[in-house]
Amino acid sequence: MRPTQPLMKRIRRLALTTKMTNKGYYKGTGTGSMGQHTKYGGYVIDWSKVRTYVVPENLKDFKLTPFVTKNVEPLRGRFEKDPKGGFSGEAYITRWKVENGED
């Protein structure tokens, strides 16, 4: 039995996974290795493989801009007056009583 042609076209567009192939296929994450494992279970970093990012000098006069402007004001949270923030149980109980009533 063969699947119909429209079904085959949809299957071909999906990403290849390890379950679709035979033995020996390892997809990985595309990050690459930064060193090698030792025979004692450790890991030695090869610094020639480590990625380094060079920050341009005179960053304020640099022509390229970041993805987000520096003029964005920080958002205010709903728990400004609570010193524990959103992690306090009192804030949860208070909000539950407001929304659901006193039970």
pLDDT, one tens digit per residue, over 22-81 is: 887 887 777 888 999 999 999 999 999 998 888 878 877 877 766 767 777 777 766 667
Per the CB < 8 A criterion, the answer to whether 91 and 84 are in contact is: yes
Per the CB < 8 A criterion, the answer to whether 88 and 94 are in contact is: no
Q: How far is CA 41 from the centre of its chain?
A: 28
Residue among 44, 22, 18 at smallest CA distance from 33: 44
Mean pLDDT (the chain, rounded): 77
The pLDDT score that the predictor gives to residue 65 is 67
d(Cα 57, Cα 37) in Å, to the nearest integer?
37
